[in-house]
Amino acid sequence: MAQKPFIVPIPGTSKLHRLQENIGTINISFSNEELTKINTALADIKIVGERYPVQIQEFS
């Protein structure tokens, strides 16, 4: 939400306390410096492999 107000993660939980924890993140904010550090660290992560196995992707 810090980068685009219309992008919101959808929590995938079946436990109420985890949902409340996820909703509570609306109260967290990052400075521009913090966002820059986060994005720099993320850019250094190499993504390897597919999200789902080929057999599952065939049904999409």
Give mean pLDDT, residues 8-20: 80
pLDDT at 16 over 80: yes
pLDDT at 18 over 80: yes
The residue type of 59 is F
Tokens 């967290």 -> residue: 28
pLDDT band, residue 1 (cuts 50/70/90): low
Task: Report the SS3 class of residue 30.
Answer: coil
Query: Shortest CA distance to 22 belongs to which of 31, 7, 38, 10?
Result: 10
pLDDT band, residue 12 (cuts 50/70/90): confident
The domain ranges of the chain are 16-57
What is the average pLDDT value for the chain, to the nearest integer? 83
pLDDT at 23 over 70: yes
Residue 22's Cβ-count burial label (10 Å; 0-12, 13-18, 19+) is middle
**pTM of the complete model:** 0.54
